Structure 1
Amino acid sequence: MSNTVVSDIAELTPEWLSAALDAPVHSVRAEPIGTGQVGTCHRLELTGDGVPERLVAKLPAADTGMRAMLAGAYRGEVRFYTDLAATVAVRAPRCHFAALGDDGNFTLLLEDLAPARQGDQIRGCTPVEALDAVRNLADLHAPRWNDADLLGLEWLGRPDEAQARMLSELYGPAVDTFVADLGDLLDDSDTDTLRSCVDATERWMTARSERFTVLHGDYRLDNLMFPDDGAPGVTAVDWQTITLGLPARDLAYFLGTSLPPALRRDHEHHLVTAYHRRLVEQGVERFAFAECWDDYRFGVLQGPLIAVFGCAFGTRTERGDRMFAAMVARSCAAIRDLDSFGVIG
């Protein structure tokens, strides 16, 4: 099998694909997917002997400066597929080929999930969809729960005190920018909650280190693919934010940003219960529901953090502004409802 990294769609020739897939590819047709802001993505239609009819090719951003800046994120996604995917039970696309080069170059050939439907971060989701998603999340977290071997993976770090301090210092100006640009989409109470998040973030980032596992890091609706027939079986994509940390940060981020506040209030206890039950079914021991609920309350600060930095350092779009504002408003409401600052200490 070829281990050659290619970074341009023109290089995905039948000859290269034949070597990568270890099967004859006679022809390939490529169609762009998405906007290409943090990388390029194409749907490949293949003819050949014993090869998939369709694949998704993920390649680095065309701009070499952007590649260098995103090298860590690219590395994390490739290493998820090569090193971790087989050790967890989460539903993720099947990887047919993965290669990692220098200077932010990489190549991934992944299962095409069509006709699965992408979640919509602005619309939100139903409690039934959320139940499917939290069970799938437990299938990521449980198999490597408190696995000391994860601590030896240099590419899969978690914040130390210096990093938490630096992030906290950046968070304040990022919130100022967010409020200046999108404040008209927020209530005054949300703005106040955002500023309180800044004050709490440094100690929040490094707290509760006694529980850790593999985190997706951006487990939200736009990164989930739901079966088009409405059946259970959601699949998580876009693994560039993978990290180690408190498991409930993924859970709280998902529920806090995906469900409109009224729905979340009505269903979150049931959904956290379902997540905890799945953990126990998957073998997690000595983790009571009360601890899980407390971690969930604690973890909700993940929502504003990711949304604010995503807005501050991403390319502004009309949909992006509405999406980030919705994420912040929902998660700030959850922080107040759950008295999250009260459990940070």
Structure 2
Amino acid sequence: MQALIPGKPADVTAEWLGSALSRGGTPVDVTAVDTVPIGTGQTGATYRVTVTYADPQPRLPASFAIKLPSQDETVRDRVAIGYRSEHAFYTTLADRVQIPIPPCYHCEIAGDGFDFVLLLGDMAPAVQGDQIAGCDAEEATLAVEALADLHGPTWCDPRWADFPGVAMPKPQPASAQGFGEVATMAAGITLDRLGDRMTAEDRETLTAAMSVVTPWLLAEPDRFAVLHGDYRLDNMLFEPDRSRITVVDWQTLGSGLPARDLSYFTATSLQPGTRAAVERDLVGAYHRRLLGHGVTGYDLETCWRDYRLGMLQAPLITVLGCAFATSTERGDEMMLVMAARGCQAIRELGTLDLIAPTR
């Protein structure tokens, strides 16, 4: 029998979990569950579920991470497309890429995405990255190599230009025009919310960057891959010995210029001084890993130019998050830091000149 989708933590009962974990139609005998929140829950609600089984279950973990839609109905209505995206990743794409992700035990969606549940293995003792503090060069190298394990297997494969559930398909003129208009609107909301805490230089860069989103999206159409879309520290779990990372949160799954993910990561997840000091090495590590996946006809200098071009991803995702996610104290602080870092990277790398050379 198909498990009903829990709408709130109280619905994650022993009976529901046993049904969700069933194999061959036979439910697992779960006697008790304990659910506590984890993460900030800006566009979704994530909980750790500790489980007691009636009998030992060597193939099942003692705890899970479960993701439900936001408990704020207004936010849930706005970001249902993100739940459809995450469902598409775990049911369609996860076994076709090599990026490290948690094991998925159950993923279900209904009602155009308004009802959604994702049950993953608990990756503890792995620790979530700290978006505001940033990471060091060693952690960043793990992240960019893992990113190539997403892009390499889907590189320029037309199957992944547009597929059911994807939040942001490969840009076309009409969709790019519409997305550019949304970006301009979101930038206005962001400046109203954070503008007095931003420098005049960053406000100018943010406005200019969002005004050219349409031509930016249409640049370099011959290079594309599946994009994570929000590839940053808060969506990564690091093993204590920093030997491995696990990537989560596939709500912004898309297709487009691969370096957008790379640029967004370095711009938002490293302190600006660290980013400037190590970005050439990080781009090189990413490029080498791509070649290991059989990518051809893509030299390092082109990769570097794509990296510079991709920097608009940083303010773009920041303003979309600021405009459409729930406002929290940490969330606002994070958006402010990400906007400032992204705008600085755009200026230092001359990104706008690549999009509109006559500016």
Q: Normalising to structure 1: TM-score of the pair?
A: 0.93
Aligned CA RMSD, in angstroms, stands at 1.9
C-alpha distance after superposition, 1:237-279 (max 9, x if no partner)? 1111111111000000001111122111111000000000000
In structure 2, runs of 5+ residues without a counterpart are: 23-27
**Paired residue for 1:134?**
144
The change in CA–CA distance for 1:193 and 1:228 in structure 2 (over 3 A counts) is same
In structure 1, runs of 5+ residues without a counterpart are: none
- How do 1:1-345 residues align onto structure 2 when only pairs under 5 Å count? 2-22=2-22, 23-48=28-53, 49-50=56-57, 51-103=60-112, 104-151=114-161, 153-156=163-166, 157-229=169-241, 231-345=242-356
SS of 1:300's partner is helix
2: CA distance between counterparts of 1:86 and 1:238? 16
Q: Which moved more, 1:137-146 or 1:149-158?
A: 149-158
Question: In the alignment, is the contact (CA less than 8 A) between 2:100 and 2:247 conserved in 1?
Answer: yes
Deviation for aligned residue 1:64 = 4.5
2: CA distance between counterparts of 1:37 and 1:339? 32
SS of 1:146's partner is coil
1: CA distance between counterparts of 2:351 and 2:285? 21
Deviation for aligned residue 1:152 = 5.2
2: CA distance between counterparts of 1:340 and 1:54? 44
The change in CA–CA distance for 1:94 and 1:261 in structure 2 (over 3 A counts) is same
Q: Which moved more, 1:320-329 or 1:32-41?
A: 32-41
2: CA distance between counterparts of 1:120 and 1:127? 14
C-alpha distance after superposition, 1:1-23 (max 9, x if no partner)? 73543323333322222222123
Question: In the alignment, is the contact (CA less than 8 A) between 1:67 and 1:105 conserved in 2?
Answer: no
SS of 2:255's partner is strand
The change in CA–CA distance for 1:263 and 1:61 in structure 2 (over 3 A counts) is closer
Question: In the alignment, is the contact (CA less than 8 A) between 2:42 and 2:327 conserved in 1?
Answer: no
**Paired residue for 2:25?**
none
1: CA distance between counterparts of 2:331 and 2:63? 29
Q: Percent identity?
A: 45
1: CA distance between counterparts of 2:85 and 2:208? 31
The change in CA–CA distance for 1:208 and 1:63 in structure 2 (over 3 A counts) is same
SS of 2:275's partner is helix
The change in CA–CA distance for 1:68 and 1:314 in structure 2 (over 3 A counts) is closer
Question: In the alignment, is the contact (CA less than 8 A) between 2:150 and 2:226 conserved in 1?
Answer: yes
SS of 2:37's partner is strand
2: CA distance between counterparts of 1:171 and 1:146? 26
1: CA distance between counterparts of 2:6 and 2:327? 29
2: CA distance between counterparts of 1:207 and 1:304? 17
Q: Normalising to structure 2: TM-score of the pair?
A: 0.90
C-alpha distance after superposition, 1:21-66 (max 9, x if no partner)? 1232222111122344422222111122313100011112334554
